[in-house]
Amino acid sequence: MQTRSSVAAQNYAPLYFLASLGAGGLSVTFFMFLMFWVPHKGRPVPVFEDIMSAFQTGTLAMQSAIIIAVVGIAGFTILNLKSLIWNLKEFSAFKKSEGYAKFAKSNGASTQLAMPLALAMTVNALFIVGLVFVPNLWGIIEYLFPAALVVFALIAVLALRMIGSFIGDVVADGSFDESANGSFAQALPGFALAMVAVGMSAPAAMSTIKTTVATSLILSTFIGVIAAIYATLAIFAGILGMIRHGAAREVAPTLMITIPLMTVLGIMMLRQNHGLHMLFDVHAAPAETMMLTAKLLGVQFAFLGLGLAVLKVQGYWDDFVIGEKTSVGSYALVCPFVALSVMGQFFINKGLVAADVITKFGTAYWAFTAIAIAMQLIAIAMVLRLNRQHFSAMPSAAVPAE
Q: Sketch out the chain's domains with CATH numbers.
A: 4-391 (1.50.10.150)
Give pLDDT, residue 5.
43
Please report, for residues 102, 126, 246, 309, the alpha-carbon distance to residue 256 in angstroms, rounded to integers and kept in the order given.
28, 26, 16, 11
φ and ψ at 356, to 5 degrees? 60, 30
Give pLDDT, residue 324.
82
Give pLDDT, residue 394.
56
CA geometry: angle 26, 30, 31, nearest 5 deg = 110
Mean pLDDT by 10 residues, the chain (402 residues): 44 93 98 97 95 97 97 98 97 92 93 97 97 96 97 98 95 90 94 98 96 97 98 95 89 94 97 93 90 97 95 91 87 96 98 96 97 98 93 52 44
- Closest to 343 measured CA to CA, from 385, 292, 303: 292
Give pLDDT, residue 326.
87
| Cα 184 from Cα 261, distance rounded (Å) | 12
The pTM of the whole model exceeds 0.75: yes
